[in-house]
Amino acid sequence: MFNIESQYNYLNYEDRALVSQMYAYAQSQGADLAYVDRVAFALGTYRYFDDGRRIFNSNSGHHYDKQGHQLRYDYLEKDAAAATRILNGMAINTTRFDQGFLRHILDPGYGALAGMGDSLGFLEKMVSKFSNEDAELSVLGSEFATYVPKDVKDKIVITRSKEVMFTLPEPNHIRHNGVWTITEKGWAAGYTMDKAGRPRAPAPIPEGQARVRKTVEARNLRAQERAFLEALSRSRDLPHWLTSLLKALRNSGGP
């Protein structure tokens, strides 16, 4: 994760001028400047990742919990309401904020896990302040006097699908409370436990041995298929034409 100074490095000239005026305005209104930090950091991150093009949308359908339920992330109701007001309001048409940035960060697929939820009310005021709209809409009230940091999990709503959408393959080994355990799949695959209690993968089979093993396995499979076809061909309940076909199949192919 980048610190606030490094994110500032990616702000363009217009961004920096806007952020500077946001600091001045927030200070004059008695607001906690941490709110400006949050917006500036989000804008710098947006610039750093090629105007958001290289940021993965968390709601694209590829996030799952441990049980395989698909996850969706949203803003809390009051924060989602602020996002809707910004997107549908008049100020967005004349604001000095980059509209691409606003539509990006107000999308919960991008902004929710970034922890922007608790700053959307402040962002709404700034969008209005630096637009052609009524200045009264941008007055910062006492709710912005102190910024109280929160964990991301306390700023978002997580919705899980009812159905299991993804099944994780069984691992070869697991670790719980620092203790390693080899699963049945792992034992079958040749994993062993070393003296330190850590799982050790089986040594790779030399190429020559692997080739011989595949040949033997193929011959055994073919023999089983022929035995099965022969058993079917001896059945008295089959018509003559099917019996002849099964014998032909049995006698075809390799050794």
Burial zone of 25 (CB within 10 Å; 0-12 exposed, 13-18 middle, 19+ buried): middle
Q: Give the pLDDT confidence of 63-111 residue by residue, as tens digits.
A: 999 889 999 999 999 999 999 999 999 999 999 999 999 999 999 999 9
Question: Is 66 part of a structural domain of the chain?
Answer: no
179-182/156-164 β-pairing:
unpaired
Helix axes 34-48, 13-28, angle to 10 degrees: 170
3-state secondary structure of 159: strand
pLDDT (mean) for 163-174? 85
Q: In this structure, are 19 and 145 located in the same domain?
A: yes
Q: In this structure, are 190 and 144 located in the same domain?
A: no
Q: In this structure, are 199 and 212 located in the same domain?
A: no
Query: What range does the domain containing 16 cover?
Result: 4-57+77-149
Question: Is 110 part of a structural domain of the chain?
Answer: yes
Q: In this structure, are 133 and 211 located in the same domain?
A: no
Cα torsion through 38, 41, 42, 46, rounded to 10: 170
Q: Give the pLDDT confidence of 10-36 residue by residue, as tens digits.
A: 999 999 999 999 999 999 999 999 999
Q: Is the pTM of this model over 0.75?
A: no
pLDDT (mean) for 221-239? 64
Q: In this structure, are 92 and 215 located in the same domain?
A: no
Q: In this structure, are 103 and 37 located in the same domain?
A: yes
Q: Give the pLDDT confidence of 147-156 residue by residue, as tens digits.
A: 999 999 999 9
Question: Is 129 part of a structural domain of the chain?
Answer: yes
Question: Is 64 part of a structural domain of the chain?
Answer: no
Reduced 3-state DSSP string for 7-48: HHCCCCHHHHHHHHHHHHHHHHCCCCCHHHHHHHHHHHHHHH
DSSP label at 53?
Answer: T
Angstrom distance (rounded) from CA 85 to CA 45: 23
pLDDT exceeds cutoff 60 at 230: yes
3-state secondary structure of 168: coil
Continuous segment of H or E residues that includes residue 72: strand 69-75
Q: In this structure, are 119 and 47 located in the same domain?
A: yes
Q: In this structure, are 195 and 224 located in the same domain?
A: no
pLDDT (mean) for 142-147? 97
Domain count, the chain: 3
Average pLDDT, rounded, for the chain:
87
Q: In this structure, are 193 and 95 located in the same domain?
A: no
Q: In this structure, are 51 and 131 located in the same domain?
A: yes
Q: In this structure, are 239 and 116 located in the same domain?
A: no
Q: In this structure, are 196 and 118 located in the same domain?
A: no
